[in-house]
Amino acid sequence: MIIIRKAKLEDKVATNDAHKRSIREVCSKDYNEEQIRIWSDVTYSDEIWENSLKNDIYYVLEKDSVIEGFIHGRIHSDNTGEIMGLYFTPAIMGQGYGRKAFELVMKEILKSKPTKVIISGTKTALPFYKAMGFKVVEVKQSNIRGTVIETNEMELCV
Ligand SMILES: CC(C)(COP(=O)(O)OP(=O)(O)OC[C@H]1O[C@@H](n2cnc3c(N)ncnc32)[C@H](O)[C@@H]1OP(=O)(O)O)[C@@H](O)C(=O)NCCC(=O)NCCS
């Protein structure tokens, strides 16, 4: 059974692990080995994790009590909404939970009446974000943790 629930402080390590597994097991079809190795070498600091939970919108997805994905949304000071991260492992992908998680976060973002919601998305997630109504405004070479990967800068007008 898959459940979506608010992230808690004690979820840091398991969420970090799901993030790495998603990049390694899912995004590897669209990026090369070197890019995946550097990009997936992510370690959440206590400070960033605690601030994200305090100030942002953060849900995790659990299957059989193991965190297999997360979604992280933010409302910026200019009132723009942003999906900061959305990463699932193969254990929960393709079963409609991406849409469910996205809609849950959008419901909270929309409460602040933003004019748009943005995302710097992977090549891997492009069909998903198109299905959610986003339009690509720029294809960019983004530096993530010291490796350059192609991203789609997308917007959803709300
Ligand atoms: C992005 C991600 C979370 C989507 O999760 P998911 O479980 O596959 O999404 P869902 O099953 O809820 O799919 C939602 C919709 O997107 C569509 N979709 C998702 N992936 C698709 C694909 N590769 N090709 C075509 N359509 C796709 C589905 O058909 C579905 O459409 P519908 O609701 O109109 O029927 C998941 O693919 C993932 O973790 N990818 C790797 C990590 C990543 O790149 N994250 C993005 C970081 S910016």
Per-position DSSP letters for 8-76, written without gaps between them: -GGGHHHHHHHHHHHHHHTGGGTS-HHHHHHHT-----HHHHHHHHHHSEEEEEEETTEEEEEEEEEE-
Q: Are strands 81-88 and 116-122 parallel, antiparallel or unpaired?
A: parallel
| Residue bearing the CA closest to ligand 1, atom 31 | 131
Q: Give the structural domain span for 65.
A: 2-114
Cα separation values, 83 from 33, 79, 101, 123, 156, Å: 26, 13, 11, 15, 11
User: Can you tell me whether residue 126 is helix, strand or coil?
Assistant: helix
Residue at 68 is within a domain: yes
Ligand 1: nearest atom to the Cα of 123? 44
Whether 127 is in a domain gets the answer no
Atom of ligand 1 nearest to the CA of 131: 16
Gap between the Cα atoms of 119 and 134, Å rounded: 9
Give the pLDDT of residue 113. Answer: 95
**pLDDT at 114 (0 to 100):** 96
Question: Does 29 reside within a domain?
Answer: yes
pLDDT at 6: 98
Instruction: Give average pLDDT by consecutive 10-residue segment, the chain, 158 residues.
Output: 97 98 98 98 98 98 98 96 98 98 98 96 98 98 97 97
**Looking at ligand 1, which atom is closest to the CA of residue 23?**
42
**158 vs 28, 115, 116, 152, CA distance in Å?**
32, 6, 5, 19
146 within a domain of the structure (yes/no)? no
Q: What is the CATH number of the domain that holds 50?
A: 3.40.630.30
| pLDDT for the residue numbered 143 | 97
User: Looking at ligand 1, which atom is closest to the CA of residue 83?
Assistant: 48
Does any domain span residue 129?
Answer: no
For residue 101, the SS3 value is helix
Residues with C-beta less than 6 Å from any ligand 1 atom: 22, 26-27, 86-88, 93-99, 119, 121-122, 124-125, 127-128, 131
- Residue 52 CA: distances (Å) to CA of 33, 59, 96, 144, 147: 29, 11, 25, 19, 24
Question: What is the best residue among 103, 128, 134 to mutate for testing ligand 1's pocket, by most ligand atoms within 8 Å of CB?
Answer: 128
Q: 95 alpha carbon to ligand 1 midpoint, in Å? A: 9
Measured by CA distance, the residue closest to atom 28 of ligand 1 is 128
What is the predicted pLDDT for the residue at 100? 98
Is 110 part of any domain? Answer: yes
Structural domain contains residue 153: no
pLDDT at 50: 98
Number of domains making up the chain: 1
Residue 57's nearest CA partner among 101, 115, 20 is 101
